[in-house]
């Protein structure tokens, strides 16, 4: 290798290191500590609750219960290319391949203790909230039978228009029942001051996360949504704790520094795209490389922004939490989804949208063709729909997806696609 080639290689290494997001190491340490503490609590007097990703976690933190998220674990299994094997365990017990691969993989992991961390710690009880989908009902009922532990179902009404008082009244009563359930399970009385403290930390961390994501409104973007998919782990699993506040304060400062110094996550950013739906966890690395090669930066997405809760004006903390958990992205109608997508597209100045038609997640994928048409009608920008599954790679055709993405990005040079 010539001296010129060596210098070029060294400059490339330095540029790559400069683009690397340093907070990723702190996040890995934080999540490792979280899972180690959760697994160490198994078999002790400390309560462990398995809870759906959209469930109200703040009461659990207030009652000193360790929350564990099967969906987060499913993403880990998918990224580690281990979820298909776990799905096959569930399928051998009669569960259909048409079911969510998070559910199949989770049931398989519960049976075998399989996965990158040797399975999740055994739950003391389960909390299931249907603001994300209805599959969680039967999924958690099966877990309740398997582990022989209590299950609390937190029911949220679907919001077809604007959030109304009857929505809040109903969901607030659910919060009260939830609190009573936790009092019975833990043997502790509800401490409102503690709950308010936890809720405040949760909202503050959510606000920090929103600011982190908003940094991508700058050019060049300091991160892609592939980075956000990883960096969102603490806001899902640890919101309501001081640790998550500290982490996102550090991450936000890093993003602001990158913006100030003009450090983009890609060597060259030519196109800005919006992503819709859950990531294709097992294909993140390859898709990331493909978009980088095409100079296309995925600057925003509908998935990570779902944890940017808007603060609600309410004197009653239970009513405030009821409003937040009722009006999540997957619990509103298509028109409001289209409004949110349009808002993201305009704020982040995207050139198009990539939608993951996710075989496993029907609520997220239902209506995508209508949303794609509406997106183009409102913004004049094109949308691409690719087919996959968030953790079951048996449904994925890499060659087909890559070819469609290449064609889509190349066509961004032309006129917007008419509907």
What are the residue boundaries of the structural domains of the chain, listed by start? 17-411
Q: If you count them, how many residues does the chain have?
A: 419
CATH hierarchy code of domain 17-411: 3.40.50.11900
pLDDT in tens, 235-293: 999 999 999 999 999 999 999 999 999 999 999 999 999 999 999 999 999 999 999 99
Rounded to the nearest 5°, which phi and psi values hold at 318? -70, -40
Token digits of residue 180:
């009573």
Assess contact for 403 and 367: CB atoms under 8 A.
no
Predicted TM-score (pTM) of the model is 0.93
> Residue 391: which of 286, 278, 226, 237 has the closest Cα?
278
pLDDT (tens digit per residue) in 173-232: 999 999 999 999 999 999 999 999 999 999 999 999 999 999 999 999 999 999 999 999
| In 7-143, beta strands by DSSP E | 48-51, 66-68, 125-129
Judge contact between 367 and 335, C-beta under 8 A. Answer: no
The residues pairing with 388 across neighbouring beta strands, listed in sequence order, are: 358
Question: Is residue 401's pLDDT more than 80?
Answer: yes
Alpha helices in 113-241 (DSSP H): 135-147, 165-186, 192-214, 225-231, 233-237
| Cα distance between residue 285 and residue 125, in whole Å | 35
What is the chain's mean pLDDT, rounded? 94
Phi, psi of 64 (to 5 degrees): 60, 35
Task: Report pLDDT digits (tens) over 69-123.
Answer: 999 999 999 999 999 999 999 999 999 999 999 999 999 999 999 999 999 999 9
- Mean pLDDT within 377-383: 98
From the CA atom positions of the chain, what is the Rg in Å? 22
CB–CB of 266/224 below 8 Å?
A: yes
Strand order in the sheet with 48-51: 66-68, 48-51, 125-129, 151-154
The values of phi and psi at residue 82, to 5°, are: -115, -5
**For helices 192-214 and 242-261, what crossing angle results, to 10°?**
20
Residues 6+ apart with CB under 8 A from 404: 384, 386
User: What is the C-alpha separation between 160 and 337, in angstroms, rounded?
Assistant: 11
């Amino acid at each position: 290798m010539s001296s010129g080639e060596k210098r070029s290689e060294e400059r490339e290494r330095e540029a790559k290191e400069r683009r690397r997001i340093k907070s990723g190491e702190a996040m890995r340490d934080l999540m490792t500590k979280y899972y180690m503490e959760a697994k160490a609590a198994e078999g002790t007097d400390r309560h462990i609750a398995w809870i759906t990703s959209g469930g109200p976690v703040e009461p659990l933190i207030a009652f000193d219960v360790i929350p564990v998220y099967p969906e987060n674990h499913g993403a880990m299994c998918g990224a580690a290319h281990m979820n298909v094997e776990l799905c096959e365990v569930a399928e051998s017990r009669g569960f259909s391949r048409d079911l969510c691969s998070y559910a199949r993989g989770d049931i398989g992991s519960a049976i075998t203790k399989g996965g990158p961390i040797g399975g999740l710690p055994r739950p003391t009880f389960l909390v299931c909230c249907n603001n994300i989908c209805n599959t969680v009902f039967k999924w958690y009922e099966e877990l309740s039978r398997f582990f022989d532990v209590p299950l609390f179902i937190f029911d949220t009404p679907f919001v077809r228009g604007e959030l109304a008082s009857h929505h809040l009244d109903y969901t607030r009563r659910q919060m009260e029942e939830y609190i009573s359930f936790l009092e019975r399970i833990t043997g502790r009385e509800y401490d409102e001051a503690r709950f308010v403290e936890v809720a405040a930390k949760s909202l503050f961390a959510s606000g920090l996360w929103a600011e982190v994501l908003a940094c991508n409104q700058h050019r060049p973007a300091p991160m892609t949504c592939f980075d956000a998919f990883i960096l969102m782990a603490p806001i899902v699993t640890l919101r309501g704790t001081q640790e998550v506040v500290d982490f996102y304060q550090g991450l936000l400062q890093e993003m602001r520094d990158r913006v100030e110094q003009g450090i983009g996550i890609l060597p060259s950013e030519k196109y800005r795209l919006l992503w819709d739906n859950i990531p294709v966890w097992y294909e993140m690395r390859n898709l990331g490389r493909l978009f980088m090669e095409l100079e296309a930066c995925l600057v925003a997405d509908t998935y990570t922004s779902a944890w940017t809760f808007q603060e609600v004006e309410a004197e009653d903390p239970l009513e405030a939490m009821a409003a937040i958990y009722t009006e999540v992205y997957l619990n509103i109608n298509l028109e409001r989804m289209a409004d949110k997508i349009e808002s993201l597209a305009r704020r982040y100045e995207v050139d198009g949208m990539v939608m993951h038609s996710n075989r496993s997640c029907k609520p997220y994928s239902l209506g995508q063709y209508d949303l794609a048409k509406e997106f183009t009608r409102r913004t004049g920008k094109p949308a691409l729909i690719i087919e996959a599954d968030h953790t079951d790679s048996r449904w994925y055709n890499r060659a087909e997806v890559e070819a469609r993405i290449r064609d889509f990005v190349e066509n961004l040079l032309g006129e917007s696609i008419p509907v």
